[in-house]
């Protein structure tokens, strides 16, 4: 990975022209190989000795301390831990939104910790879908248009209608966010995140603002995406009941991984969960 070599000779005026058109980032960074199922058992993420320290004035906050963790392709991972334990910091680093203070963040063998800003932008754009607690939909656009916003700039998107169908919202595609329930808005946010067909889907407290029955419908949507698209999915929650639907449960406390357990036996279906 690293910086692209400086273009020389006949390529220079062509790239200069792309830059003037604002397309430089698109042509400059194509650093990652597309993941293939046959690449297993290599992990999607291989995090090694990750630490993250925030400095606020004189105060040091050690958000992550020597986290080492490998996540196999296609898994549905639940990341559990109390508030302040470092879950969001870890997810943001995996998603290229933040960088560690030390350690390696290998994504299919490429170290995101050493990547420049342009490479991280390309990585986020092509490989990662994000879902947050609050849905961040554009109020003046319909459900379909919110999804289209992403598919228009993606390299190999699915049809926006298909993304909405996958989260069981095709009947609501012409509704505006204000005409949708919280759970429906979150499912539009999931459709938007997966419409570009990312290799990984990172979800930070996706059911945190929802009641139990709505939360379960959202989890069913994530379950279906993981099963039908094979998207490696990481879900942060402080709700331990959700662990029952995971392939792997990772627990964090005080910035450290305290346990990392692959499931033995069958996963529970989201609709069977109770809390
Ligand atoms: P969680 O998601 O498990 O609640 P976070 O990863 O958000 O935990 O936070 C871990 C610790 O790092 C907390 O003590 C939090 O206050 C601190 N922290 C997180 N982000 C920042 C930041 N941008 N600046 C300073 N401190 C931060
Ligand atoms: Mg958090």
When pLDDT is cut at 50, 70 and 90, the band that residue 84 belongs to is very high
Residue 274 token pair: 């109770």
pLDDT band at 32 (very low <50, low <70, confident <90, very high): low
Residue 16 banded pLDDT, cuts 50, 70, 90: very low
Whole-number Å distance between alpha carbons of 147 and 173: 10
Among 63, 79, 88, the mutation site with the greatest number of ligand 1 atoms within 8 A of its Cβ is: 63
User: Is the CB–ligand 1 distance for residue 94 below 6 Å?
Assistant: no
Asked whether the beta carbons of 33 and 223 are under 8 A apart, the reply is: no
Percent of the chain with pLDDT over 90: 81
d(C-alpha 90, C-alpha 86), whole Å: 6
Q: Which atom of ligand 1 is nearest to the CA of 255?
A: 10
CB of 182 sitting under 6 A from ligand 1: no
CA 79 to ligand 1 centroid distance, Å: 15
Q: Tell me the CA–centroid distance for residue 201 and ligand 2, in Å.
A: 16
Write down the mean pLDDT value for the chain.
88
CA atoms of 185 and 67, how far apart (whole Å) = 33
How sure is the predictor about 41, in pLDDT bands with cuts at 50, 70 and 90?
low
Which of helix, strand or coil describes residue 85? coil
52 CB under 6 A from ligand 1?
no
Which protein residue has the closest C-alpha to ligand 1 atom 22? 54
- Determine the distance separating the centroid of ligand 2 and the alpha carbon of 88, expressed in angstroms: 4
Packing angle of the helix pair 143-151, 182-194 (nearest 10 deg): 20
- Closest C-alpha to ligand 1, atom 13: 84
Tokens matching residue 228: 């039908």
Q: What is the pLDDT of residue 42?
A: 76
On the question of pLDDT at 23 being above 50, the answer is: no
Please report the atom of ligand 1 found closest to the CA of residue 92: 6
Alpha-carbon distance 171 to 202, whole Å? Answer: 26
Q: What is the pLDDT of residues 148-204, one digit of tens each?
A: 999 998 989 999 999 999 999 999 999 999 999 999 999 999 999 999 999 999 999
Of residues 61, 60, 77, 59, the one with CA closest to residue 69 = 77
Distance in Å, CA 53 to ligand 1 centroid: 9
Q: Which helix (H) or strand (E) holds 251?
A: strand 248-253
Q: Is the CB of 89 under 6 A from ligand 1?
A: yes
Domains of the chain: 74-98+112-272 (3.40.50.300)
* Distance in Å, CA 26 to ligand 2 centroid: 31
Given a cut of 60, is residue 36 above it in pLDDT?
no
Each residue of 104-140: pLDDT tens digit? 999 999 999 999 999 999 999 999 999 999 999 999 9
Question: Would you state the pLDDT for residue 20?
Answer: 42
| Ligand 1 and 54: CB distance under 6 A | yes
The closest residue, in CA terms, to atom 11 on ligand 1 is 63
171 lines ligand 1 (CB under 6 A): no
- The CB of 208 under 6 Å from ligand 1? The reply is no
d(CA 182, CA 70): 33
In tens, the pLDDT along 197-240 reads 999 999 999 999 999 999 999 999 999 999 999 999 999 998 99
Q: Record the pTM.
A: 0.86
């Amino acid at each position: 990975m690293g910086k692209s070599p400086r273009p020389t000779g006949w390529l220079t005026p062509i790239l200069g022209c792309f830059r003037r058109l604002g397309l430089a980032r698109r042509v400059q960074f194509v650093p990652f190989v597309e993941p293939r199922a046959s690449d297993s058992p290599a992990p999607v993420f291989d995090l090694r000795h990750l630490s993250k320290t925030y400095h606020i004035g004189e105060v040091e906050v050690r958000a992550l301390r020597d986290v080492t963790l490998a996540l196999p392709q296609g898994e549905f991972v639940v990341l559990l831990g109390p508030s302040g334990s470092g879950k969001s910091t870890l997810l943001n680093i995996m998603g290229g939104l933040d960088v560690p203070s030390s350690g390696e963040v290998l994504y299919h063998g490429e170290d995101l910790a050493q990547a420049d800003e342009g490479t991280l932008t390309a990585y986020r754009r092509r490989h990662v879908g994000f879902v947050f607690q609050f849905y961040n939909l554009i109020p003046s656009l319909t459900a379909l248009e919110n999804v289209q916003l992403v598919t228009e700039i993606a390299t190999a998107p699915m049809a926006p209608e298909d993304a909405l169908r996958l989260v069981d919202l095709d009947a609501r595609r012409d509704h505006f966010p204000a005409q949708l329930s919280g759970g429906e808005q979150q499912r539009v946010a999931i459709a938007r995140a997966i419409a570009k067909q990312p290799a990984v889907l990172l979800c930070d407290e996706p059911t945190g603002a929802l009641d139990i029955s709505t939360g379960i419908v959202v989890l069913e949507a994530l379950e279906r995406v993981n099963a039908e698209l094979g998207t490696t999915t990481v879900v942060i929650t402080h709700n331990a009941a959700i662990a029952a639907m995971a392939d792997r449960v990772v627990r964090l406390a005080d910035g450290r991984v305290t346990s990392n357990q692959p499931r033995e036996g069958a996963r529970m279906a989201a609709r069977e969960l109770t809390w």
